[in-house]
């Protein structure tokens, strides 16, 4: 089972927030988040902070203040060789 399939199975059984915590444990980064594009804004759907489990959201923000501007323009994954 791929990581994406495992993540989907966890969402189906445990809900988004618990699944995001599992996903965050798989990576070395402090924050894991999901944002929704809304015009020129990014709307926060879910956030996990490894150091503070009480934090579950962050402020919405303009796309221009985030690396997500590249995803919005290219419609590709952000990473080496994609921009």
Average pLDDT value for residue range 15-37 = 91
Share the mean pLDDT of the chain.
85
Is residue 41 one of the residues assigned to a domain? yes
Structural domains of the chain, count:
1
pLDDT of residue 52: 95
Q: Is the pLDDT reported for residue 55 higher than 80?
A: yes
Q: What is the domain extent for residue 9?
A: 3-74
Is residue 81 one of the residues assigned to a domain? no
Is residue 79 one of the residues assigned to a domain? no
Is residue 52 one of the residues assigned to a domain? yes
Q: Strand pairing partners for 42?
A: 37, 61
Distances (CA, A) of 66 to 26, 50, 78: 23, 21, 12
Other Cβ atoms within 10 Å of 83 Cβ, number:
13
- φ, ψ of residue 33 to 5 degrees: the values are -145, 160
Indicate yes or no: pTM above 0.75. no
């Amino acid at each position: 089972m791929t990581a994406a399939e495992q993540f989907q199975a966890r969402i189906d059984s445990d809900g988004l927030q618990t699944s995001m915590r599992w996903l965050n444990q798989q990576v070395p980064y402090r924050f894991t988040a999901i944002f929704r594009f809304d015009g020129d804004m990014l709307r926060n759907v879910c956030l996990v902070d490894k150091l503070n489990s009480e934090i579950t959201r962050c402020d919405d923000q303009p796309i221009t203040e985030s690396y997500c501007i590249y995803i919005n323009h290219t419609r590709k994954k952000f990473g080496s060789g994609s921009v």
